Chains A and B, each alone.
Chain A
Amino acid sequence: MSLGYYFLLPVIFSFLTPYFKKLGSFTLRGSSILLSFILFVQSIAYTTMKLPQISQFSIKPPLGIAFVLDGYSLLFLLIFTFSAVIVSFYMLWYFKVNPKRDEARFYVFFNMLIAGSIGMILSCDIFNLYIFFEIVGICSYTLSAYNKDKLGLESGIKYLIIGSIASIFIVFAIMLIYLQIGTVNLGLIAQRFHEIDPKISVLIVLMLFIGFGTKAELFPMNFWAPDIYQGSISSVNGLFSSVVAKAYLFVFFHLFYLFGLSSKYMLFVMVIGAITFLVSEFTALNQTNVKRLFAYSTLGQLGILFMALSTNSSETVSGALFHLTSHSISKLLIFLALGILIHHLKSTKISIFGDFKSRFLTIIFAIGFLSILGIPPFSGFVGKILILKGFALSHNYSAIAFILLVSIVEAVYFFRLTAMMLDKKGTKRVVHVGFINYILLCVLAALIVIFGLFPSLLIHYTDLAANALINPTDYLKFALGVGL
């Protein structure tokens, strides 16, 4: 199957959605699940193939646009399609308990969100990437406003404004790149980036940094992020945390290494990541809204990832990618479970953790929390220790100390929630999880445990990804269309 289908199939699905809707909600839901399932199975099939894979549009690269799948994007592709499968099953439950919602349009935006994210990681043309960026943008604006209440619309408007700022900077950067090197192909840009006048290259890098950094929720530009999480529904939160933020992160570091910026800007990105981590974790301590709390936690984890991914050492980067995968799964788990909780208790205050009674959900949350905190035998542990090991190998002890110290702060609020769940006092309401969610949460929790016990299953792919990221010669060859 050509890589182009990752984008074209969701598009054709979205265009035909009005007719699926007419055929009944069963067809609609079924086809959406089928779509995400096909894409997921296809992604798994790619793990057995020789990488990189390429799919060209109209004309050979570097002139035309192509989708290139290397080790780095394969990992993200797996994460995204897997999240899509899980969330599309979860929505069965959501629309059962919220029957009045506009189901068809949700599926349109949901599928295009995934397709756009996949497009962002596959495209080897920066302008094409910008279009996918906007597709993801529009889908996420609309999904965060999906509730159509005050909170939802407010978050939608805020996201849209921030997204517009980011896109203006990115467009400006792309224009400057085209003016300077006369191309928008990532391979050619990577080859010729050093030829740009240094001052202008700083300007370009800065604009790309502001553009993607804003969307990837880096510190001084992430004041909007918790609002977005608070205003949208939990499954969308899960998508934002485990797909959208990760897609922007992907692009950020893809360009970072491709343009050879790592030596010059490594320290800067690391410091920014560290500040993001610190500020978000400290801020999270004081939150009383669960969604905001987990939003801050996401920001904090992104901070760690920014610290670790910028190091230019394959050990640390591989660890960071492992951590990223595990974080995606854990956050999806937490947000999906949270959605069930919020639905039953009709509140988003932190106190809901003390008000429910369900052994299953308690275990699920505990697994998620422990995994995010990096406690064995869950998958987060492997990621964290790989990151720490990588930092240790480069003798960057301050980073180790920093991560560990701030992690204690992180533990404060995660274990506060855990303690509230385990607290026996007070009136507790029984929460019924529902069959589909039971299976889904079990699958996610099982993955967390399996990757924790047998990390070599995943490390194979993260190593592949880290090598592809740091040393993108294969990618460049395909992006430049050499030997096609």
Chain B
Amino acid sequence: MSLKKTLPIKHIVLSILSSALLLSLLGLLMQVKTDLHKSVGDIFLNLNMQTATANAVTSVVTFFRGIDTVGEVTVLFLATSGVALMLSTSQRTYAKIIKQDSFILNVGSRLLLSVIILFGAYIIIHGHLSPGGGFQGGVVIATAFLLLFLANPNMDLNHSILTLGESLSGSAYVLVAIIGLFKVNMLLGNFLPHPVSEIGNLISGGIIPVIYVIVGIKVGSEMAVIVEYFVKEEHEKEIENA
């Protein structure tokens, strides 16, 4: 019995099991051949010229597999709603933190805010030209808000603007998808002009940059909301402990 207590048998068994699984899986995966068929991706690369988008990943994300992105945005939206449902209560009012915020931090963070948002916007807008895009840029924008919260815990976000951004961008995305149905008879069809000669320019690729901008706004506002909830939660706990 004493042996059982000192030796974590479960852990040992499980680690042996994991390693056995690992080894046999490795044996299997080493045989994986990656050149059985011409993959869809290669076909996409060939087709990519038609979309007039310099970044093939972007065109796959927003156009070829566009409905995936709608779903993804929805998942993020649902997660935000879930977090909000869990962490917000109408009865609970956030007590203001007594701690005085530092002036330098305040000013410094605001200074940085605009730069970060600009950077995020840049990433979003150039999503179809360079690595990056709506998600990445959106998250960068959300970090700007995180910085604000870190510098000034008393800060409140303007929820109505965030909600507006969220709802409008989301609806706009769906609308773009539906307009495609009417214009080019295909949901999420590329109904804006996208001449191949324009490839590499900022305004090129038809709806692709539009979608990425929409996604950027949506992700940015949603991530900001999530960040806010978690930060506020943290502060509340501190108050309870104090």
Q: Which residues of A contact B (CB under 8 A)?
A: 2, 4, 7-8, 11-12, 14-16, 18-19, 55-59, 62-65, 102, 105, 108-109, 112, 119, 127-128, 131-132, 134-135, 138-139, 141-142, 145-146, 148, 176, 178-185, 192, 195, 197, 199-200, 203
Contacts and interface: CB of A to CB of B under 8 A. Distances in A.
Given A7-B71, A65-B66, A182-B41, 6 more contacts: A8-B177, A15-B77, A57-B187, A58-B186, A58-B190, A181-B36
A141 B42 CA distance: 37
B189 A142 contact: no
A131 B31 contact: no
Contacts of A203: 25, 28
A135 B36 CA distance: 32
B64 interface: yes
A163 B64 CA distance: 28
Interface size class of B (residues with CB under 8 A): 35 or more
Contact of A15 (B64, B86, B166): B166
A4 B36 CA distance: 33
Contact of B37 (A148, A182, A184): A182
B54 to A, nearest CB: 18
A391 B189 CA distance: 48
Tell me the dominant secondary structure on chain B's binding face: helix
Interface in B165-210: 166-167, 170-171, 174-175, 177-178, 180-181, 186-190
B189 A112 contact: no
Interface of B: 25, 28, 31-34, 36-44, 47, 63-68, 70-72, 74-75, 77-79, 81-82, 84-86, 163, 166-167, 170-171, 174-175, 177-178, 180-181, 186-190
A2 B167 CA distance: 23
A1 to B, nearest CB: 10
- Select the residue from B34, B64, B67 with max chain A CB neighbours within 10 A: B67
Contact of A58 (B34, B77, B187): B187
A184 B68 CA distance: 12
6 contacts: A7-B70, A19-B167, A56-B186, A108-B81, A135-B75, A139-B78
B175 to A, nearest CB: 8
B206 to A, nearest CB: 11
Given A63-B47, A108-B78, A142-B78, A12 B186 contact: no
B37 A138 contact: no
A205 B81 CA distance: 34
Contact of A138 (B67, B78, B170, B187): B78
A11 B44 CA distance: 28
B82 to A, nearest CB: 4
A65 B170 CA distance: 20
Contact of B167 (A15, A64, A112): A15
Nearest to B187: A4
Given A12-B170, A19-B167, A178 B39 contact: yes
B82 A179 contact: no
A142 B33 contact: no
B178 A63 contact: no
Contact of A142 (B31, B41, B85): B85
B33 to A, nearest CB: 7
A81 B41 CA distance: 35
Contact of A16 (B33, B85, B167): B167
A364 to B, nearest CB: 32
Nearest to B83: A142
A57 B186 contact: yes
A57 B188 contact: yes
A215 B64 CA distance: 29
A225 B166 CA distance: 34
Given A63-B43, A182-B39, A200-B32, A132 B64 contact: no
B33 A180 contact: yes
A197 B31 CA distance: 9
Given A58-B63, A63-B64, A180-B33, A105 B85 contact: yes
A109 B81 contact: yes
Given A180-B33, A182-B41, A141 B77 contact: no
B79 A195 contact: no
B46 to A, nearest CB: 10
Nearest to B76: A138
Contacts of B32: 176, 179-180, 200
Contacts of B78: 14, 108-109, 112, 135, 138-139, 142
| A-B CB proximity, top 6 nearest | A182-B39, A15-B170, A131-B71, A142-B82, A4-B187, A57-B67
B40 A2 contact: no
B167 to A, nearest CB: 5
Nearest to A195: B36
A182 B66 CA distance: 19
B62 to A, nearest CB: 9
A147 B32 CA distance: 47
A63 B44 contact: yes
B64 A105 contact: no
B81 A64 contact: no
Contacts of A145: 86
Given A14-B74, A119-B71, A200-B31, A180 B84 contact: no
Contacts of B67: 4, 7, 57-58, 65, 128
Given A18-B167, A58-B63, A58-B190, A11 B70 contact: yes
